[in-house]
Amino acid sequence: MSPSTQPKMQTRGVAELLDALVASDGTGAHAHVRSGALSSGPEAMRNLADAVHFLCLLHGRHPGVIDNAARKAVDPASRQWMDEAAEAFAAERAFLSKIASAVGPVPSTQGQAQCEAAVAAQRKAIDMLAESDRHGCAVGAAIALTLDWRTIRVLLDISAQRLDLSPAPCTLPDLPGTARLAAKVAATPAVERAMLFGAQQLIMQQSGLWDLMAARAASRAHP
């Protein structure tokens, strides 16, 4: 087929691809979150408490995904976004820690040590993404985390309100600024592929966490 007769296909920009990835495979799309198990019903608070503690294991330590990715940022546009994101996520970590302290101990669940080991492996996997020397991989992971965190923050706000804590505003970089950054960083097809790889792997680890939370909730319901 000659170029003149090939069907015209509209190519989506990297920012749109990242948004679509998070929408289809991120926290908001996970069956455990969509089921209402974290927001309604008699077990919701226990399930939320479980999620908060395991989110702390995955994202509660410094340096995290964004901090590690920031060290890879060399151009001014990335540097500014990363600095803003890292500062905002430090506040998110503090908020997460505050909720974890207020919510009480981890709900008693079978296989606790194995679950903690699984999340430690996830943490190692996302650290490797954020420390990758493949140009674009770290920033892709960082962007995916900031996009997915918006849904996680809704869950944290629900926890805070039930604990009579006042949620501070989330100051992660806004969506238009994030989209502009993604488009600017993805200057070549190779970098775009690396960004999407980093984002996909980050979202896969996030989804794995919610798989674990769903299994733990089921285990508590049917001991």
Question: What are 11-58's pLDDT values in tens digits?
Answer: 479 999 999 999 999 999 999 999 999 998 899 999 999 999 999 999
- CA–centroid distance for 29 within its chain: 12
207 vs 213: CA distance, rounded Å? 10
60 vs 51: CA distance, rounded Å? 12
Copy the structure tokens of residue 32. 């455990």
- Higher pLDDT: 184 or 73? It is 184
Q: Per CATH, which fold does 14-221 belong to?
A: Heme Oxygenase; Chain A (1.20.910)
Per-residue pLDDT of 79-121, as tens digits, reads 899 999 999 999 999 999 999 999 999 999 999 999 999 999 9
Average pLDDT value over all residues in the chain:
92
Q: Any residues with CB less than 8 A from the CB of 183 and at least 6 apart, and which? A: 13, 14, 15
Given a contact cutoff of 8 angstroms between Cβ atoms, the answer to whether 145 and 209 are in contact is: no
Per-residue DSSP letter, 109: -
Residue 63 confidence class, pLDDT cut points 50, 70, 90 = very high
The pLDDT, as a whole number, for residue 157 is 96
The pLDDT, as a whole number, for residue 5 is 40
99 vs 93: CA distance, rounded Å? 10
Given a contact cutoff of 8 angstroms between Cβ atoms, the answer to whether 159 and 48 are in contact is: yes
Considering the entire predicted model, what is its pTM?
0.92
What's the average model confidence in pLDDT over 166-176? 94
Does residue 198 have a pLDDT over 60? yes
Copy the structure tokens of residue 114. 């194995």
The pLDDT, as a whole number, for residue 75 is 79
Work out the percent of the chain whose per-residue pLDDT is above 70: 95
* Domain boundaries of the chain, sorted by first residue: 14-221
